[in-house]
Structure 1
Amino acid sequence: MDLREFVAGTAGGCAGVFAGHPLDVVKTRLQSGTNALGANVVECFRKLFVKEGLKGFYKGILPPIVSNAPVSAGVFTTYGWALRQLHGSERQHEASLRDVAKAGFAAGVVSSVIVTPADLIKVRLQMDSKAKAPSAGAVAKSSNLGVLGETYGCVQQIVREGGLPNLYRGFKQTLLRETFSYACYFGSYEATLRSITPEGKQPSTWSILLAGSVSGLVVWGPVYPIDVVKTRIQACKKETPDTTWRCTQQIIASEGVKGLFRGFSAAMLRAVPVNAITFLVFEQVQLCLPQWQRP
């Protein structure tokens, strides 16, 4: 893995998290099936701001920020390794779209191992509508430590509920989401980039930004229902089944098929700026760094 790509990817990922987190909070609240903050993006956004202020839009931001570096390392390393196995090199612009998608699928497997605990903690924190840690008793005392205290308190509560393995609640659903989303992401990104870049020319920054935005939109279609099920399971309501099929059945029975797409508009609104900013920062940071050669 090129160290420049890792550093730039980490910076771009962090920028994307900050840019998209407010809509991610709204998406999670809508996915949970709770109508306390409204049934659509605009209503949820307005009520969230009135009830919790700007701070409410950044609940649970620490886990995705902290996990961004290892996720970037795991994804780019695995993606490069898979391309070498399938294509013979890491030059994705020269590989077939099938090989690109397969390499993305492999990257998703590694990503899910790192992302599951971070997503679980993030969801629990985002679901907390109070100005305190998302648990009662001794855990709530950590809220006076701010973001770090709330995050630590949330981890304590999750472990208390089911031991360390409980940090991987929702792993199967995350694995499904990550593998298919990365396959779609890298595949659609590369397909879009090739279609708008003249043959023999290097992709321009605007082409990369456009391709990244398109791929971000394409990703959510096939995986969004899985993401809704994952959120319901990780939110850990007593009435929620802990298997994908049973949870899906429950959602359809109580809310219809549209229940599997709660918060979809928030996810789509989030996809464009997140991917545009991620790739913009990625490109700019790469330009600022010295050229490190692979040993």
Structure 2
Amino acid sequence: MDTVKDLTAGTTGGVAQVLVGQPFDIVKVRMQTAPKGTYQGMLDCAGGILKNEGPLAFYKGTLTPLLGIGVCVSIQFAALEYSKRFFAQRNLANGKGGADGSVLSSSQLFASGVAAGLANGGVSGPVEHIRIRLQTQSAINPTYSGPWDAIKKIYSSSGIAGIYKGQVVTLWREATGYGVYFWAYEKLMQREIATKGIRREQVSPAKAVLFGAAAGYVLWAVIIPIDMIKSRMQTDGFSAADGQKYKSTIDCVRTVWRTEGISAFTRGLGPILIRSPFANGATFLGFEMASRLLNSL
């Protein structure tokens, strides 16, 4: 029953994340995947999208993440909370972690976050691949009419490997990123609870938003270079005929470093810095509020 509640609350957080963060995400992806010099900056990119494709373009490819990221975030939180309960039981048996063992150590929180990232990686990889394909295709002569058309065409030409293109770097991103992401959020929560002598459900919604925003910045400080490589791999062609540039993830890193320099690894940082506090604050607010509601029933 706890897992069902975690999945439901996680879905709420995931939907909130997509609705708030999608416009920023499309700007980030366009900047990460465009040739060097295409955009002068974040505002130039956003202005070009608005002028050439209209305001609805900022929600291009939203259906896939709305369904997929909702599932991803629900899996993340379910795996996180399951791992936290596992470590709490171990702590209780060993006389650690407070009266109920729930005060986890930094290593336990990081491990729980890694488990959450890996658990969700199998879904987030293909979901983000399809989203990025839709976000970066031409508005004049689009290759795909929508997410289902993209899935069918990619699968028919490249099989399941095509759907999971960029999966290795995705798993690296999820494991490292969510390890520090949930560690940061939970440590801030622990500090608030200990300082004020309150229960978790008594932490104010505003603090959940603030802690989520801070955790989001920690996440992106770690994964922005990995995310850029993931975006490059997932928008790369499937064959030489399709314009494939990279033979592997390592080849992608070497090629980008050699041809574009270190600055390419932080391209798209502007929209990330703006998006992160809103999207991640909304994610944790949605999860915490939904959890409290479900636990009160």
Same fold (TM over 0.5): yes
Q: Percent identity?
A: 28
SS at 2:54 equivalent: helix
User: Residue in 1 aligned with 2:189?
Assistant: 193
Cα deviation, residue 84, structure 1: 3.7
CA-atom RMSD, angstroms? 2.3
SS at 1:218 equivalent: helix
User: Residue in 2 aligned with 1:79?
Assistant: 80
Cα deviation, residue 199, structure 1: 4.5
Indicate how the Cα distance of structure 1 residues 208 and 79 shifts in structure 2: closer, same or farther if over 3 A, else same.
same
Residue 258 (str. 1) matches residue 258 (str. 2): no
Amino acid at match of 2:89: G
Asked if the contact 1:31/1:263 (under 8 Å) is kept, the reply is yes
Amino acid at match of 2:282: I
User: Which whole-Å CA distance do the structure 2 matches of 1:256 and 1:92 have between them?
Assistant: 48
Consecutive unaligned residues of structure 1, counting only runs of 5 or more, are 136-142, 144-149
Indicate how the Cα distance of structure 1 residues 251 and 116 shifts in structure 2: closer, same or farther if over 3 A, else same.
same
Cα deviation, residue 2, structure 1: 4.5
Cα deviation, residue 97, structure 1: 1.6
| Pairing partner for 2:130 from 99, 121, 127 | 121
Residue 94 (str. 1) matches residue 90 (str. 2): no
| Pairing partner for 1:168 from 141, 164, 170 | 164
Amino acid at match of 1:75: Q
User: Which whole-Å CA distance do the structure 2 matches of 1:210 and 1:227 have between them?
Assistant: 24
Cα deviation, residue 221, structure 1: 1.2
Instruction: State the TM-score, normalized to the length of structure 1.
Output: 0.86
Equivalence map 1:278-289=2 (5 Å)? 278-289=283-294
C-alpha distance after superposition, 1:16-39 (max 9, x if no partner):
101110110000001103358623
User: Which whole-Å CA distance do the structure 2 matches of 1:178 and 1:21 have between them?
Assistant: 19
Q: Greater CA deviation, 124-133 or 82-91?
A: 82-91
User: Residue in 1 aligned with 2:35?
Assistant: 34
User: Which whole-Å CA distance do the structure 1 matches of 2:88 and 2:116 have between them?
Assistant: 15
User: Residue in 2 aligned with 1:66?
Assistant: 67
Equivalence map 1:1-295=2 (5 Å)? 1-34=2-35, 38-88=39-89, 94-131=103-140, 133-135=142-144, 143=145, 150-197=146-193, 198-202=195-199, 203-237=203-237, 238-289=243-294, 291=296
Consecutive unaligned residues of structure 2, counting only runs of 5 or more, are 92-99, 238-242
User: Which whole-Å CA distance do the structure 2 matches of 1:32 and 1:276 have between them?
Assistant: 26
Cα deviation, residue 287, structure 1: 4.9
Aligned residues: 279
C-alpha distance after superposition, 1:135-180 (max 9, x if no partner):
4xxxxxxx3xxxxxx1121112211331122111100010000011
Q: Greater CA deviation, 227-236 or 153-162?
A: 153-162
